[in-house]
Amino acid sequence: MPTLVNYSGDDEFYSGGSFYPNPMDLGCLFSIVSQVDVYCPPSKRPRISAPFIFGRNELELDKKPSIEVLPDECLFEIFRRLDGGKEKSSCACVSKRWLMLLSGIRKAEICHESPVSNDVDMVTGDEDQDLESDGYLSRCLEGKKATDIRLAAIAVGTSSRGGLGKLSIRGSNSLRGVTNLGLSSIAHGCPSLKALTLWNVPYIGDDGLSEIAKGCNLLEKLDLCQCPTISNKSLIAIAENCPNLTSLNIESCSKIGNEGLEAIGRLCPKLHSVSIKDCPLVRDHGVSNLLSTASMLSKVKLQSVNITDFSLAVIGHYGKAITNLVLSGLQNVSERGFWVMGNAQGLQKLTLLTVTSCRGITDVSLEAIGKGCINLKQMCLRKCCFVSNNGMVAFAKAAGSLECLQLEECNRVTLSGIVGALSNCGTKLKSLTLVKCMGIRDMALGFAMPSSCTSLRSLSVRYCPGFGTASLAMVESCEAGLVKVNLSGCFNITDDVILALARLHGGTLELLNLEGCRKITDASLVAIADNCLLLNDLDVSKCAITDSGVAVLSCAEQLSLQVLSLSGCSKISNKSMPFLEKLGKNLVGLNVQHCNSISSSTVELLLDSLWKCDILS
C-alpha cells in the first residue's frame, strides 16, 4: 500500500497505444466487465449508432447495417429507380413506410436509366415492363376494407399490370377511413384511371380529388355520393384537367354548387351524361349554364334540386341532343315550366322521359310535352297527382311515336282514360304498365272497345285492386297477340279472365304472372295447359292451386315450361312430387318456398332428381 501511495512515475497522460499489447487480453477484460458502460468521445459522428464489441482479432458491430436508417429522401431515390413491377411489389411488402413511399412516386418521377451500352441487347425477363397501362383493371373497396393502406397497395400493385381503370370506394372504415392521403396514392400511381366512384367517404376532401384531377387526366366517369367535404374547388380542378369527362353523377354533396357545374359544362366538351340529386347549393344558374354549354349531353337526371321554371325552359331550348330525361321531386317547377319545355321545340331527339312527384305536370303541360317531343317513345309518370283522363287522351293523340306507357300511383286516371289513350296511340304502342293506380276500376260491361289497339304486346297491371274481370276486356281486340302479361297483386282477377286470355292469346303468350291473385284456381291451369303453346314462364304464387292443377300441367305434352313458381300455394302437397319430376325435365327454375304441405324430405328428393333445375325451397 505505501508503495502505491508514494509512486513517483510519469505523471503525463498516456500518449497512445493499448494498455494491453495483446488484444486478446483486452477482449478478456471486456468480457468480464460486460455490464460496465465505457464512454469514448468520437472524433467524427458515425452514420450508424451501434455498440461496439471487441472480438478476439477484430472490431465487430453488434448489428448489421440496415436500410431502414436511411431517410425518406434516400429511399425515394432508390425506389424510383426500380425497374419492374415485381421489384416494387416486393419492396411494398416490407413495411407500411416503404409502401407509402412507393405509392407516392408519380409516373413522371420514375427514373428510366439504361446502364447497358448501345451495342448490347439486355433481356430483363420481367414481362411486367412490356404491359401497357391501358387501365383494364377494376377494384372495389367497401366498408371496413376501405383504408389508405389498401389504396396504396392498389396503386403499387396495379401500376405495372395493365393499370387501374376503374375504382369504386363505398363506405369507409370507422377507425382508419379513407382520407386524402389514400386517394393521392391512386392519383400518383394510377394515371390510367378512367372511372372513379366515391360513396359515403366523409374524410376525402378537395385535396384528394384535386390530386386525382392532376394525376388522372384520362378520367371519364366521376360518381360522388355523400361527400360532405368535397366542394366546387375540386370539381373545377376536374374540369380543368380532365377534358375527356363523359359522365358526372353528384348526389347529396352539400358543398357543390353552381360554380363547379359551370366549369364542367364549359371545359368538358365530351360530357354526355349528368345526374344531380339532393345538392342544396345547385340552383338555376349552375344547371342552366351546364345545359346551355354542354352541347353533347344526351342523358340528364335532375332530382330534388332547387331549380325553377327557368331551368326547364333552358332544357327545352338547348337540349337538342338529349335522348333520356329524368325529372324527379322538382317542387319549385310549375305547370308553366313544363309547358315551356314542351313548346320550346328543342327536345326533338328525346325518346325516354320519366317524371316523378312533380306538381307541374298537369293535363295542359302533358299535352305540350306530347306535341313538342315528336320522337318520344317511352313515357313514365310516377306520383303525378294532377294528371287526369283528359290529359292522358290528349297526350296520346299528340305523341304519335309512343311505344311504351307507364303510370305509377297516378290515381286520377281511370280505366276510361286508359281506354281513350289506347284508342289514340295508333299502331305503335307495344307496352302498357299500370302500378298502384287506385283509379283503375272495373267499367260497366258493354262499353265500346277501341278497334286500333292492335299493337299491344305487353300488359302489366300490378297491385291495382280495382282491376277485375270486366277490365281485362280492353285487350280482347289485341290482334297482334299478347306476349307478356303481369297481373300480380290484382286479387279480384278470376278464372274467367285467364280463360279468355288463354283462348285469345295462347298462341303468342310466353310469360304469365298471377302472383297474389287469390281467386285463380286449377281451372286456369287447365286452360293454360290446353292453349298456351309457347308459355315458358308461369308464376301462380299465392293462388288457390292444388295438386290436381300441377298434374294437369305435367300432362300437357305441348307445354315446355322453363320457370314455374308455386310459392305460397298451401294446397300443394307431397302428392305433386311425381308431377313436378315430370315437369322438371324442361325446368331450369322451380320455386316451392312457403309450400307448407310439402315436406322437407320431398324437397330433398326433388333436389336429387332435378339436379339440373335451380330449386328454391
Per-residue pLDDT band for 162 (boundaries 50, 70, 90) equals low
CB contact at 8 A, 516 and 487: no
pLDDT score of 51 more than 80: no
User: How far apart, in whole angstroms, are the C-alpha atoms of residue 381 and residue 369?
Assistant: 13
Per-residue pLDDT band for 38 (boundaries 50, 70, 90) equals very low
Residue 584: Cβ within 10 Å count = 20
Q: What are the Cα distances from residue 160, in Å, to 82, 91, 192?
A: 12, 14, 11
Q: What are the Cα distances from residue 137, in Å, to 165, 168, 193?
A: 5, 12, 9
CA nearest neighbour of 471 among 499, 438, 504, 493: 493
The residue-averaged pLDDT of 446-472 equals 76
Per-residue pLDDT band for 3 (boundaries 50, 70, 90) equals very low
The DSSP line for 402-443 is --EEEEES-TT--HHHHHHHHHHSTT---EEEEES-TT--PP
Look at strands 195-199 and 404-408 and give their pairing. unpaired
pLDDT score of 122 more than 50: no
pTM recorded for the entire structure: 0.80
The residue-averaged pLDDT of 114-133 equals 42
pLDDT score of 153 more than 90: no
Of 124-138, 191-205, 369-383, 523-537, the least confident = 124-138
pLDDT at residue 118, as a whole number: 45
CB contact at 8 A, 410 and 387: yes
Distance of alpha carbon 438 from the chain centroid: 33
Q: What crossing angle do the helices spanning 96-103 and 72-79 adopt, rounded to 10°?
A: 60
pLDDT of 418-450, one tens digit each? 888 888 876 789 999 999 999 988 765 445 555
pLDDT at residue 585, as a whole number: 86
The 3-state DSSP class for residue 48 equals coil
User: How far apart, in whole angstroms, are the C-alpha atoms of residue 4 and residue 296?
Assistant: 105
pLDDT of 245-274, one tens digit each? 999 999 999 999 999 999 999 999 999 999
pLDDT at residue 15, as a whole number: 45
